[in-house]
Structure formats: structure tokens, C-alpha cells
């Protein structure tokens, strides 16, 4: 893999609070960004000590990552205690804040010991915890930042009593922190380059910072299949749903949409686990779709991949997500995506590779999902065209292309600094 061209190879201090090749989501994204930045920079990666085992196991098996030095920042006893508590208003945010202060002290010592051209905070990158690296006397990059998106207000009743209260509180906290938090505003304004993970975040960050914000998806995909795996034409339409069983993932929308459809029209495979499993299984039973559902629990990627190859369509019903790794996983196997038209999924999915349902009301979304399933089950040619479009879309988000996009941001920033011009904001 060739390195993106830069005028020189900068020294970059990267804060990757989640960085582990053995874990999904934020951890995989942090690992991906560290690897990509090392293609065109000398990297010191500040990571949580909780990721040390996974990183060191990978390095022992595959050798060192050229150009990367890992520094693991431990948690204190209070942070560890807070992380073990999961009340309604989760205390792990405060735990992360305390860890960020530790990471800042370590970063400050590193900056005193050696010069850095850039400091980049890549993960975990919900906007509400900007960390403290923006205080360092080094040009600061923040992002891709996510987390500004809210759970749609009209859908709170679908989250259940506990989930609804949690999402309501989160929505209110988002509004307060986004507009009133001094640290969020200072980090956004101090950043030489500010990156948003989705277009909603791009608008929100531009509003509070008064500046241009660059759009860059917060994750990527390692590879894409060369061709679409052969599948029998529907019906039944083979539906795949994958994710955590948590209220914001929205599986009840899909189950409700499938209720009343002829049983021979679809087959649904569900991957994942979590606290909502009992409630969702009971809902499937009440709706009369339980017999068409296969619940497989959480599967590692090498096992889950065969279910992507089985599926005609991934249903991504999330009501609140910065992006969605499962969307890219589906694309990489030539699986179109049925999703809600908002947040990160709304950015990633196009008419060439999926169907997006407007986020209006629960009843209208359920009806839209039902129409899409019925239409695609009856139009295998359209489904085949979208499968090819999904592979094409996956190649847009290959990790090496994501790295090239970030390298161009670095190039503009370092060129401006070398020339003495004002640092660019996009």
C-alpha cells in the first residue's frame, strides 16, 4: 500500500482512547486511524491501558507497526470503580473525563521531551468529551467528531420506560453541552482542523464554532469483495439485522414492519445481544413474526461474514448512531442497506446501494420499511443492481482511501504552517 504524498513526514501525537484490533466499533476505528496515520507520519499513539493486551497480542503475531510507538495510559482506582457502575445516568462519562486528564499529563511530558508537528485526537470522539490536548502548544486536529445526533423525540415511546427516560436525558444533555460547555467550544475553536463524522455533526459543530468543518466518516472498511456472492432470488427476502440490543438500535421498528406480511415473503436473521433481548423477543412473539426470526447472538466477524453472504438486504434501524460499522460491513459483502434517512447512515447510503426511509413518525417509518421489504422481495433485478452498488460504495470507504483523505488535511495544514499562513479550517 503506497503512502499518500506529503512534503515531509510529520511527527504526530495521536490520542486514540479506543484502539484495539480485537474489538469492534470505536476500538476498530481507533486502530484503523493509527495504522493510516502511520503511512505518512511518525506516530506516538496514546491509548487506554485497557487496550494494551489486544495491541500487544497483534504486534506479537504480526510484528511492529512501522512508525508507531504505543504509550498506554492507565486508569486510576476511581475511574475503574465508576466504569463498573451503570446507573440510569451513566457515570462512565465522568470516568472518561478523569482518564482524559491523565492522558493530558502524559501528553504534556511527551511534548516537553520531543517536538511534534501535530496533535490529533481521533477516538473516542463523542463531542461531549473533547479532552485537553487542544491546550498543548502544538497545532491540534479534532475528529472525526460524532455524538451530536439525538434520538428522534417522536420515537421516545419505542424505547421502553427505562430506555425512553435515558434517551430523553441524553437529548437534553446533548443540547446543554453542545451549546453551553466551555471546553467543547474552546476545543472546536482551538482546532486547526475540525472534522465531523456525519453531516448532522458538521452542521452542529459549525454552529457552535462559527467556522467551516470538514466531513470525514469516523470509520472505514478493510477490504471489499471482488464480486457479489450468488444468492437465490427472493422470495423469501433474506433480511439481516446486526447490532447491540439497546433501545436506540430500533429493532422493534423492523419487527413491527414485518408483522402482517405473508410469512413466505421474508426470513430474518438477527445478530447481537444486549439488555433488550427479552423485550424484543417477546415483541416478535406478540407480533406473530417469531417463527420467521433466527436469533444467533453475537458472532465474531469471520463467522458473521457468512450471514452477510447469505443476506439479500441489511436492515439498519438505528435511531441514534454517529455512523454504523455494520453498514460498511454489509457494503463490503455486496449487501444493500435499508435504513433510516438521518445521521451517519443517511450520509453513507445512496439510492444506488440501498433504500432510505424518512424519519417522520413511528407509524410512517414502519409503513415505509414494510413497503421497501415488499418491493424488494418482488424486484430481484433492482436488488441485484443495488448489490453491485453496495460493493462500489464500500470501495469509497476503504481504510486506505480514508487515510488518503486525512493525509490531504494534514498536507494543507502543514503547508500553511510552513508558509506562515493562517492555518486552514477545513
C-alpha distances out from residue 272 to 149, 285, 296, Å? 23, 18, 7
| Domain extents in the chain | 11-146+181-220+399-419, 237-396
Q: Render 137-190 in DSSP notation, one character per residue.
A: SS-EEEEEEB------GGGGGGGHHHHHHHHHHHHHHHHHHHHH-HHHHHHHHH
Distance CA 93, CA 424 (A): 31
Q: Which three cell numbers stand for residue 293?
A: 426470526
> What secondary structure letter does DSSP report for 229?
P
Q: Mind listing the pLDDT tens digit of every residue in the chain (426 residues)?
A: 556 666 678 999 999 999 999 888 889 999 999 999 999 999 999 999 999 999 999 999 999 999 999 999 998 887 777 766 654 455 677 888 899 999 999 999 999 999 999 999 999 888 999 999 999 999 999 999 999 999 999 999 999 898 999 999 999 999 999 989 999 999 999 999 999 999 999 999 999 998 889 999 999 999 999 999 899 999 999 999 999 999 999 999 999 999 989 999 999 999 999 999 999 999 999 999 999 999 999 998 889 999 999 999 999 999 999 999 999 999 999 999 999 999 999 999 999 999 999 999 999 999 999 999 999 999 999 999 999 999 999 999 999 999 999 999 888 777 655 555 444 443
Answer whether CATH 3.30.559.10 is correct for domain 237-396.
no
Distance CA 233, CA 241 (A): 19
Contact 45, 34 (CB under 8 A): yes
Q: Render 230-264 in DSSP notation, one character per residue.
A: P-PPSSSEEEEEES--SGGG-HHHHHHHHTTS-GG
- Grid cell 512501522 in the structure block, residue: 66
Distance CA 268, CA 22 (A): 27
Distance CA 362, CA 97 (A): 36
Contact 356, 341 (CB under 8 A): yes
Contact 102, 67 (CB under 8 A): no
Fold of 11-146+181-220+399-419: Rossmann fold (3.40.50)
pTM score of the predicted model: 0.91
Distance CA 147, CA 387 (A): 30
> What secondary structure letter does DSSP report for 335?
-
3-state secondary structure at position 52: helix
Distance CA 52, CA 310 (A): 35
pLDDT computed for residue 16 by the predictor: 96
Indicate the average pLDDT of the chain: 91
By residue count, the chain amounts to: 426
Q: In terms of Cα–Cα distance, which of 238, 264, 255 is closest to 383?
A: 238
Distance CA 149, CA 220 (A): 20
CATH topology agreement for domains 11-146+181-220+399-419 and 237-396: yes
Contact 342, 319 (CB under 8 A): no
Q: What is the pLDDT of residues 179-238, one digit of tens each?
A: 899 999 999 999 999 999 999 999 999 999 988 899 999 999 999 999 998 999 999 999
Evaluated on CA atoms 361, 363, 368, 369, the torsion sign reads positive
Amino acid at each position: 500500500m503506497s503512502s499518500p504524498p506529503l512534503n515531509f513526514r510529520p511527527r504526530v501525537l495521536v490520542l486514540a482512547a479506543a484502539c484495539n484490533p480485537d474489538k469492534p466499533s470505536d476500538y476498530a476505528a481507533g486502530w484503523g486511524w493509527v495504522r493510516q496515520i502511520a503511512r505518512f507520519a511518525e506516530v506516538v499513539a496514546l491509548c487506554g491501558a485497557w487496550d494494551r493486551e489486544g495491541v500487544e497480542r497483534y504486534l506479537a503475531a504480526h510484528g511492529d507497526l512501522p512508525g508507531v510507538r504505543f504509550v498506554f495510559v492507565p486508569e486510576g482506582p476511581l475511574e475503574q470503580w465508576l466504569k463498573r457502575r451503570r446507573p440510569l445516568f451513566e457515570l462512565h462519562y465522568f470516568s472518561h473525563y478523569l482518564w482524559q486528564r491523565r492522558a493530558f499529563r502524559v501528553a504534556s511530558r511527551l511534548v516537553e521531551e520531543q517536538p511534534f508537528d501535530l496533535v490529533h485526537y481521533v477516538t473516542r470522539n463523542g463531542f461531549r468529551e473533547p479532552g485537553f490536548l487542544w491546550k498543548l502548544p502544538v497545532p491540534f486536529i479534532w475528529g472525526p467528531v460524532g455524538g451530536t445526533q439525538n434520538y428522534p423525540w417522536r420515537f421516545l415511546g419505542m424505547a421502553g420506560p427505562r430506555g425512553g427516560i435515558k434517551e430523553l436525558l441524553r437529548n437534553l444533555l446533548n443540547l446543554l453541552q453542545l451549546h453551553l460547555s466551555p471546553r467543547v467550544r474552546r476545543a472546536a475553536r482551538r482546532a486547526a482542523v475540525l472534522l465531523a463524522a456525519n453531516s448532522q455533526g458538521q452542521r452542529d459543530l459549525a454552529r457552535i464554532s462559527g467556522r467551516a468543518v470538514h466531513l470525514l466518516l469516523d470509520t472505514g472498511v478493510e477490504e471489499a469483495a471482488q464480486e457479489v456472492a450468488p444468492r437465490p432470488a427472493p422470495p423469501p427476502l433474506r433480511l439481516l439485522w446486526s447490532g447491540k440490543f439497546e433501545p436506540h438500535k430500533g429493532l422493534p421498528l423492523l419487527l413491527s414492519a414485518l408483522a402482517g406480511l405473508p410469512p413466505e415473503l421474508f426470513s430474518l436473521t438477527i445478530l447481537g445481544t444486549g439488555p433488550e433481548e427479552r423485550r424484543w423477543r417477546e415483541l416478535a412473539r406478540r407480533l406473530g413474526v417469531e417463527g420467521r426470526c433466527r436469533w444467533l447472538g453475537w458472532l465474531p466477524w469471520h463467522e458473521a461474514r457468512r450471514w452477510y453472504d447469505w443476506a439479500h438486504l441489511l436492515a439498519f434501524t438505528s435511531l441514534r448512531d454517529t455512523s454504523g460499522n455494520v453498514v460498511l460491513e454489509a457494503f463490503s459483502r455486496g449487501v444493500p442497506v435499508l435504513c433510516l434517512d438521518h445521521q451517519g447512515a443517511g450520509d453513507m447510503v445512496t439510492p444506488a446501494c440501498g433504500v432510505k426511509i424518512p424519519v417522520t413518525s413511528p407509524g410512517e417509518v414502519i409503513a415505509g420499511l414494510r413497503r421497501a421489504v415488499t418491493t424488494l422481495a418482488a424486484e430481484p433485478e433492482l436488488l441485484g443492481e443495488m448489490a453491485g452498488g453496495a460493493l462500489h460504495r464500500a470501495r469509497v470507504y476503504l481504510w486506505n482511501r480514508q487515510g488518503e483523505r486525512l493525509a490531504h488535511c494534514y498536507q494543507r495544514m502543514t503547508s500553511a504552517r510552513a508558509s506562515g499562513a493562517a492555518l486552514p479550517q477545513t
